[in-house]
Amino acid sequence: MKKIIVIMFLQVFVLSCSKDQEVGYVPVPLALEAPSNFPELTYNLDNNPLTEAGFELGKSLFYEGKLSVNDAIPCAFCHEQAFAFTHHGHNLSHGVDGAIGLRNSLPIQNLAFLNEFMWDGAATHLDMQPIIPITSHLEMGETIGNVVEKLKSDPNYQQQFERAFEDGAVNAANMLKALSQFMVMMVSSNSKYDKYVRNEDDVTLSAMELDGLQTFENKCASCHATDLFTDQTYRDNGLPINPQLDDKGRFDIFEDPNDLYKFRVPSLRNVEKSYPYMHDGRFQTLEAVLDFYDHGMVENGNVDPILLREDQTYGISLDAYEKESLIAFLKTLTDNEFLTDERFSEY
Amino acid sequence: MKIIKFAFAVLLCTSIISCSSDDDNNTTDLTGQTGTLALKFDNGVGDQDFIFGVTYNKSNGESYQLETLKYIISNIRVKDAEGNTFTYPLENNAFIIDESNGNNAGEIFVTLDNVDAADYTEITFGIGIDQERFAMGAEGQGDFLVEAEAAGMMWSWATGYKFTRFDGTFSTGELVDEPLNIHMGSVGTSLDNYREVTLSFPNTVRVRETASPEVHIKADFAKVFDGETSVNFADGYGQVHTSSETTPVIANNLPGMFEVHHVHNN
């Protein structure tokens, strides 16, 4: 009998020991290095130092249905890894109770290098971006306050927050920081193109891919600039207005007529996988996109002058081979390491 | 001669008094001493108390009544006679002044704890949330984010605070009981509608461990529409949200609302 008590005692001791080691703030720093062909980081890591536990918590939250009002729609619902974290095949994103959003979900990649977010730039700090989908009644339909209450009553999250943050508090600030830590780490920079420009692993581009790159530099790169493939501006690219949506783009932010129908120039990384295209997902293939640029543009009232041709029509003239080679080049931006990286995978 | 003597005596008295008062300041070491400073916000319209549902007239004959009256105050700091500034800690330095939280006299209290003991002569505060704090991301918002969300002071379609929530109806010569919504805030990095106001105290505010002064701040809501600029509901000022044209006009009118009416040195 005595022995049993001793063993039980010992067990309690051992258990509590291991629990102590498990719970509690032990910051293991995570390194985030800008790829050599990228511009500088814009995310200020001083306000939110990356740690393993913070990243893991952010990942749990990213795949957590409790962030939505019916506990069923996590961020990952519209941001699936295999499709560059977009809503595979959907022109418009879906939300709680069958709600249909107004826009096509953007990829989550290289956000640490951007200065604004969303198709219209409605978020100017990555930490604050998740507030929009979480509280939108067309997306996750929750309140931040309510999400925090749900997480507070979950022992698993209590432990995860304790490990991730010095104050250990389950609160909005720490939740948003953790989500940012996860998103900041999601860097896509190991496509065939990247290895080619960085002279890695003796990677070369085919003749057609090189022709595509040449056309890209001549006709596309002024907007899809830098190796982020976006100049981060908002432009009206002459899409015919869909009267059903009547999406005025960035106009909604400042109610400035100069912003009518302007949308953010999206990155083209992993573009092969992130279909459908445009802010409303109206084009299912890259061929359809290039055909649109060649002969589909309309004067909707505010088209970017950069797209005006000498004959006073809007568009970017592309012949059949230019289109074919451009698409070959765009496919070199597919980063399979990123699309299958287990650090970002749910399972 | 008598007059001279008298004058001399008075001078002596004065110098002793001023001396002793100087001594008092010098010998009373306030270092490390803190106290509580209470700010009472009292919303009114001109020379009337503000009351929900009551119709108020503007200078141009338009009228309005409100069901919601809330605004954000932040970055409160007080300055003493020597020019030293005490800034309330950033993480707790944002408040929602909500008329519906007022006491029976319509006063909303903001209580500042652990204020350095000193003789303060002026106060500065911001209306809204400044861009620097917003740029700090989650770190800069702390729990205020959830508080603002619960109070309906955040947008859901964009990330940012509504600095004001003035909701009700307005009437013009032609329009009757049209919806009135003044939800003004900063938008992104390019539209900064945060404003600050500095107000002198009519008499010194003595914060001590044993003295908790109250500052009675009157806010004249009429100035929102009839301030630095008078605006017309008929011109679209019944609905002010994020427009880069109308929001700065309202933002510029807000600092003029506030005055320190009196101070209680308890």
Residue B1 has pLDDT above 50, yes or no: no
Does A330 score more than 60 pLDDT?
yes
Three-state helix/strand/coil letters over chain A: CHHHHHHHHHHHHHHHHHHHHHCCCCCCECCCCCCCCCCCCCCCHHHCCCEHHHHHHHHHHHCCHHHCCCCCCCHHHCCEHHHCCECCCCCCCECHHHCECCCCCCCCCCHHHCCCECCCCCECCHHHCCHHHHHCCCCCCCCHHHHHHHHHCCHHHHHHHHHHCCCCCCCHHHHHHHHHHHHHCCCCCCCHHHHHHCCCCCCCCCHHHHHHHHHHHHHCCCCCCCCCCCCCCEECCCCCCCCCCCCCECHHHHCCHHHCCEEECCCCCCCCCCCCECCCCCECCHHHHHHHHHHCCCCCCCCCHHHECCCCCECCCCCHHHHHHHHHHHHCCCCHHHHCCHHHCCC
Q: Output the pLDDT for position B156.
A: 79
**Residues in A touching B188 (Cβ below 8 Å):** 116, 121, 124, 253
Q: Is the pLDDT of residue A50 over 80?
A: yes
pLDDT of residue B19: 44
Interface membership of A172 toward B (CB under 8 Å): yes
Using a CB-CB cut-off of 8 Å, the residues of chain A touching B156 are 131-132, 135-137
Of B143, B188, B242, the CB nearest to A121: B188
- For the purposes of burial, counting CB atoms within 10 Å of the CB of A7, is it exposed (0-12), middle (13-18) or buried (19 or more)? exposed
User: pLDDT tens for residues B70-82?
Assistant: 999 999 999 999 9
User: What does the pLDDT look like over A141-179, one tens digit per residue?
Assistant: 999 999 999 999 999 999 999 999 999 999 999 999 999
Residue of A nearest to B137 (CA): A127
- pLDDT value at residue B212: 92
Q: Over chain A, what is the mean pLDDT? A: 92
Q: Do A145 and B158 touch (CB under 8 A)?
A: no
Quote the minimal CA–CA distance from B136 to chain A in Å: 7
The residues, ordered by sequence, that sit 6+ positions from A342 with a Cβ below 8 Å of its Cβ are none
Residue B65 DSSP SS3: strand
Residue A7 has pLDDT above 80, yes or no: no
Q: Phi and psi at residue B124, in whole multiples of 5°?
A: -125, 140
Where residue B2 falls among pLDDT bands split at 50, 70, 90?
low
Q: Which residue of A has its CA nearest to B185?
A: A254
Q: Distance between CA B52 and CA B266 in Å, rounded?
A: 31
Chain B residues inside the 8 Å CB shell of A176: 137-138, 145
Look at the alpha carbons of B14, B16, B20, B26 in this order and tell me if their dihedral is positive or negative: positive
**pLDDT value of position B7:** 54
Write the residue in B141, B146, B241 that is nearest to A148 by C-beta: B146
Judging contacts by C-beta atoms under 8 Å, the chain A residues touching residue B130 are: none
The tokens describing A295, both together, are 């002969």
* pLDDT over 70, % of chain B: 89
Residues of chain B contacting A255 with CB distance shorter than 8 Å:
241-245
List the one residue out of A80, A56, A61, A186 whose CA is nearest residue A134: A61
Provide the pLDDT confidence category of residue A15 given band limits of 50, 70 and 90.
very low
- Which amino acid is present at A233? T
Identify the pLDDT of residue A46: 96
Please indicate if any CB of chain B lies within 8 Å of the CB of A122: yes
Does the pLDDT of residue B169 top 60, yes or no? yes
User: Mean pLDDT across the stretch B158-184?
Assistant: 94
pLDDT of residue B3: 56
Encode pLDDT of B214-230 as tens digits.
999 999 999 999 999 99
Q: Does residue A171 sit at the B interface (CB-CB below 8 Å)?
A: yes
Structure-block tokens of residue A218:
């001549």
Q: Are strands B94-98 and B107-116 parallel, antiparallel or unpaired?
A: unpaired
Q: What is the mean pLDDT of residues B199-212?
A: 95
pLDDT tens column, A255-280:
899 999 999 999 999 999 999 999 99
Domain boundaries, chain A: 28-187, 192-337
Q: Return the half-sphere exposure (C-beta side, CA atoms, 13 A cut-off) of residue B235.
A: 8
Task: Please give the average per-residue pLDDT across A298-305, as a whole number.
Answer: 95
B-chain residues near A256 (CB < 8 A): 243-244
**Residue A6 pLDDT exceeds 50:** no
Chain B residues whose beta carbon lies within 8 Å of the beta carbon of residue A181: none
Confidence (pLDDT) at B18? 46
Q: How far apart are CA B74 and CA A172, in angstroms?
A: 19
Looking at residue A124, its pLDDT comes to: 93
Task: Output the pLDDT for position B26.
Answer: 46
Residue B105 has pLDDT above 70, yes or no: yes
The pLDDT score that the predictor gives to residue A20 is 46
A8 pLDDT more than 90: no
pLDDT computed for residue B9 by the predictor: 52
Using DSSP, state whether B5 is helix, strand or coil.
helix
Q: How far is CA B118 from CA A288, B87, B209, in A?
A: 71, 13, 10
Which band of pLDDT confidence, cut at 50, 70 and 90, is reported for residue B158?
confident
Q: For an interface test with B, which of A125, A182, A248 has the most B Cβ atoms less than 10 Å from its Cβ?
A: A125
* Homologous superfamily in CATH for domain A28-187: Cytochrome c-like domain (1.10.760.10)
CB contact under 8 A, B138 and A172: yes
pLDDT tens digits along A242-261: 998 999 999 999 889 999 99
pLDDT at residue B16 in the model: 45
Architecture of domain A192-337: Orthogonal Bundle (1.10)
Q: Would you state the pLDDT for residue B4?
A: 56
CB-based contacts of B139, cutoff 8 Å, min separation 6:
A47, A48, A127, A173, A177
Q: Do domains A28-187 and A192-337 have the same CATH topology?
A: yes
pLDDT of residue A9: 47
Q: Could you tell me the two tokens for A63?
A: 């795949």
Q: Is B162 or B21 the better-scoring residue by pLDDT?
A: B162
Contact at 8 Å (CB) between A194 and A37? yes
Torsion of CA A229, A231, A232, A237, to 10 degrees: -90
- For residue A320, what pLDDT band results from cuts at 50, 70 and 90? very high
- Facing residue for B139 by CB, picked from A132, A173, A175: A173
pLDDT of residue A74: 95
Q: What average pLDDT score do residues B166-171 get?
A: 97
Q: What is the pLDDT of residue B17?
A: 47
- pLDDT tens digit sequence for A205-246: 999 999 999 999 999 999 999 999 999 999 999 999 999 899
Q: Is the confidence at residue A297, as pLDDT, over 90? A: yes
Structure tokens at A51: 């740690």
